[in-house]
Amino acid sequence: MKKVLVSDPMNPDAFERLKSLPGLDITLKTGMSEEELINFIPEFHIAVIRGATKMTRNVIQAASNLELIVRAGIGLDNIDRDAAKENGVQVNNTPAATTTSVAEHTLGLMLAAVRNHGKANLSMKAHKWEKKALSGTELFQKILGIIGSGRIGLEVARFSLAFGMKVLVYDVIDVQTDLDLKQVSLDELLTQSDVISLHLPLTVQTKHMISDAEFGKMKDGVILINASRGGTVDEKALYEALESGKVRAAGIDVFEKEPPDEFTLIDHPNVIATPHIGAAAKEGQKRAGFEVVSIVEKYTAG
């Protein structure tokens, strides 16, 4: 009998399917701190998590029976993969399940930024009618620069091409796609793009990949979107770029600290901010949940 800990909320239908699998003892316990998880996890063989649970080195070392961690989602930055490897723990995720959810959210942030949706909403709720002051711009025929050409980056490219945008892509690897886009250097992307969208993991190489020097190369009035990982953009540098007008508006779903304890950037009038909900669409979460079940089922079947 394999003991399975589900430590973050899971799609209800997928959870019921997980409970129906033979040979598994399922425990649902969410909202644990690192200390609580360290004390609770030793008896479990499989851990099913999303973004809230942090599988740190301390947690993994305490998990003496742990064989498998399954992350319902794309990123693995909340799992210490080095510690997992050292302790013989297999790590899996569901990279394709929420691709559409995040890509759609990215387009939503993009539209909100260019059309002043946030300001317009607040203005209307204040019983104002600021029609002329809130005029925006179209996405049509604008140049979109996508940094990172994984599943989500290419899905954003596909959606953006349907809006009539011209798409540039920067990645450290060659882009493999039939889409009508152009792979360029990072400097070319920064200098040519009207809108820039990041789709990167947070690594040593991507930490503060966009900072003062990069903002200095961008067009005046550029739009910046980040629905990938907090920390890929230097938030202090972004705030200064917003203040100077170098960045006209920013749509941000991810932050260096989550939840934030400092709201200077979020409070900026030209920032559209959302609380890391890019993947939080019911359809995407259902796909992710059932993919988790499939991974667990295949693993326990040998």
Q: Which residues are part of the catalytic machinery?
A: 229, 258, 276
Rg (C-alpha) for the chain, rounded Å, is 21
Q: In what order do the strands lie in the sheet with 166-170?
A: 182-183, 166-170, 143-147, 195-198, 222-226, 247-252, 271-273
Separation of alpha carbons 155 and 28, rounded Å:
33
Separation of alpha carbons 218 and 234, rounded Å:
15
Q: What is the DSSP string of 41-109?
A: GGG-SEEEE-SSS-B-HHHHHH-TT--EEEESSS--TTB-HHHHHHTT-EEEE-TTTTHHHHHHHHHHH
Cβ pair 27, 4 in contact under 8 A: yes
Residue type, 212: D
